[in-house]
């Protein structure tokens, strides 16, 4: 069986173009928001709320995708919404408009994520999940290298001209939309036969899921409760003395490390076990956050962002591969979406909590609290045991 199939390539290229558009804006987003009057706390609330909307919609649309045994239409609509939201950000600077546009962008992600990951999972076996999801994350993240690099180049010639970047970001978004229409659903996929689906009906899946699934998700959610938005890392870099150009540069560096290591770490995860690789990533995350809380040294900042790239490569795709390995094929989108829905609420809490800790106690305390909490999550995962051979990781 060919490991990296046509569908995997198309999905990976779509993600590359979309991330190029999104990440062109991501590193300048906190800077832009502060320039139009957003406080640190309001940025935390914004990021938390929009991620919550995205996550909750992932649960609904993931289950809807499974019930209809359709993947491609959800992928196409989701990527289209995200692309269209980019130029909308430049129209007005009113806080409510910014919330609406960011929510539209994240809603697109919510619509497509479960269906996309189900399509990826359908192209794999349990023995190569890490490799395929790692490959997808690698190309996805190369978009996060190219996007900020283009933003950096543009801002070099047009300093602080953030508005036009929102229009430029629409171009790779259109490429993603075009590529999405090359996708085709498999004819032999069976539906999960779910009736009367509403926005929160995915919660029922939690009760029906296997004990292995619930054990893994609980650990992932514990971590999500303290893993705030990456925006705070960029603000920390800014606080350490980096100017806007270097903030974008260090973000490109982080994504480059992530992109280069996601695929090989995915292959290695298939050999040693997905759980071991994920725990390794958490250990790196813990060290990075301790470092962020204890230093403002600019040279160490680059070392920490290098480590953060390794952490992301060892956990992002691996967690998706892990979830799909412990889920039935007909419920894959629901399994991914249900996790994402609960995770979004945890992420909202984490970002708001980080904003409050930063506001009242300073950046160092915010990072140290997260690092200490992650130690507990690592212990939880190390203590996990699974009853069935199919859940051996």
Read off the pLDDT of residues 201-232 as tens digits, 9 standing for 90 and up. Answer: 677 888 888 888 999 999 999 999 988 878 78
Read off the pLDDT of residues 234-271 as tens digits, 9 standing for 90 and up. Answer: 888 888 788 777 887 888 899 899 999 999 999 999 99
The pLDDT value recorded for residue 390 is 39
Distance between CA 373 and CA 34 in Å, rounded?
Answer: 29
Distance between CA 313 and CA 332 in Å, rounded?
Answer: 22
Residues with Cβ within 8 Å of 44's Cβ and at least 6 positions away in sequence, in order, are 228, 229, 231, 232, 351, 352, 354, 355, 356, 358
Model confidence at 289, in pLDDT bands (50, 70, 90)? very high
The pLDDT value recorded for residue 65 is 86
Model confidence at 392, in pLDDT bands (50, 70, 90)? very low
Cβ atoms 278, 312 nearer than 8 A: no
DSSP 8-state assignment for residue 241: T
Closest CA to 332 of 190, 136, 199: 190
Distance between CA 208 and CA 214 in Å, rounded?
Answer: 10
Token duo for residue 321: 């591969």
Residues with Cβ within 8 Å of 172's Cβ and at least 6 positions away in sequence, in order, are 17, 18, 20, 21, 24, 143, 147
Read off the pLDDT of residues 344-391 as tens digits, 9 standing for 90 and up. Answer: 788 778 878 888 888 888 888 989 999 999 999 999 999 887 554 334
Domains, the chain, ordered by start: 6-183+204-391 (1.20.1250.20)
Residues with Cβ within 8 Å of 187's Cβ and at least 6 positions away in sequence, in order, are none
Distance between CA 25 and CA 28 in Å, rounded?
Answer: 6
Q: Is the pLDDT of residue 14 over 90?
A: yes
3-state SS assignment for residue 225: coil
- Our CA dihedral for 121, 124, 129, 130, rounded to 10 degrees, sits at -110
Sign of CA dihedral 196, 202, 208, 210: positive
The pLDDT value recorded for residue 7 is 92
Read off the pLDDT of residues 296-352 as tens digits, 9 standing for 90 and up. Answer: 788 888 999 999 999 999 998 899 999 988 888 788 888 888 888 888 788 778 878
Which of the two residues, 173 and 56, has the higher pLDDT score? 173
3-state SS assignment for residue 197: coil
The pLDDT value recorded for residue 136 is 93
The pLDDT value recorded for residue 87 is 84
Measure Cα distances from 167 to 22, 86, 89, 340 in Å. 12, 7, 9, 29
Distance between CA 63 and CA 200 in Å, rounded?
Answer: 10
Cβ atoms 29, 155 nearer than 8 A: no
DSSP 8-state assignment for residue 189: P
């Amino acid at each position: 069986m060919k490991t990296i199939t046509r569908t995997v390539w198309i999905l990976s290229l779509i993600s590359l173009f979309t991330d190029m558009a999104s990440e062109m804006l991501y590193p300048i987003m906190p800077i832009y928001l502060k320039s139009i009057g957003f406080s640190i706390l309001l940025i935390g609330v914004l990021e938390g709320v929009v991620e919550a909307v995205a996550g909750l919609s992932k649960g609904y649309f993931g289950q809807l995708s499974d019930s209809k045994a359709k993947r491609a239409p959800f992928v196409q609509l989701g990527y289209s919404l995200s692309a269209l939201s980019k130029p909308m950000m430049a129209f007005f600077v009113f806080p409510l408009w910014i919330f609406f546009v960011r929510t539209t962008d994240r809603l697109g992600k919510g619509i497509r994520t479960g269906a996309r990951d189900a399509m990826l999972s359908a192209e794999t076996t349990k023995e190569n999940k890490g490799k395929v999801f790692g490959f997808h994350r690698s190309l996805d993240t190369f978009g996060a290298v190219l996007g900020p690099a283009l933003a950096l180049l543009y801002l070099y010639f047009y300093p602080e001209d953030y508005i036009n970047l929102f229009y430029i970001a629409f171009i790779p978004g259109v490429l993603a939309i075009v590529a999405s229409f090359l996708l085709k659903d498999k004819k032999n996929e069976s539906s999960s036969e779910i009736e009367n689906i509403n926005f929160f009906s995915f919660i029922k899946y939690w009760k029906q899921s296997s004990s292995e699934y619930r054990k893994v998700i609980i650990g992932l959610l514990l971590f999500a409760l303290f893993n705030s938005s990456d925006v705070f890392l960029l603000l920390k870099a800014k606080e350490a003395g980096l100017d806007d150009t270097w903030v974008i540069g260090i973000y490109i560096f982080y994504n480059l490390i992530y992109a280069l290591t996601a695929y090989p770490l995915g292959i290695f995860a298939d050999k040693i076990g997905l759980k071991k690789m994920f725990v390794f990533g958490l250990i790196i995350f813990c060290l990075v956050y301790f470092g962020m809380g204890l230093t403002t040294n600019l040279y160490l900042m680059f070392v920490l962002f290098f480590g953060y790239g390794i952490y992301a490569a060892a956990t992002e795709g691996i967690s998706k591969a892990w979830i799909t390995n412990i889920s039935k094929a007909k419920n894959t989108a629901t399994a991914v979406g249900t996790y994402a829905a609960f995770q979004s609420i945890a992420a909202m809490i984490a970002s708001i909590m980080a904003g409050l800790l930063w506001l009242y106690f300073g950046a160092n305390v915010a990072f140290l609290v997260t690092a200490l909490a992650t130690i507990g999550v690592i212990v939880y995962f190390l203590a996990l045991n699974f009853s069935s051979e199919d859940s051996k990781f």
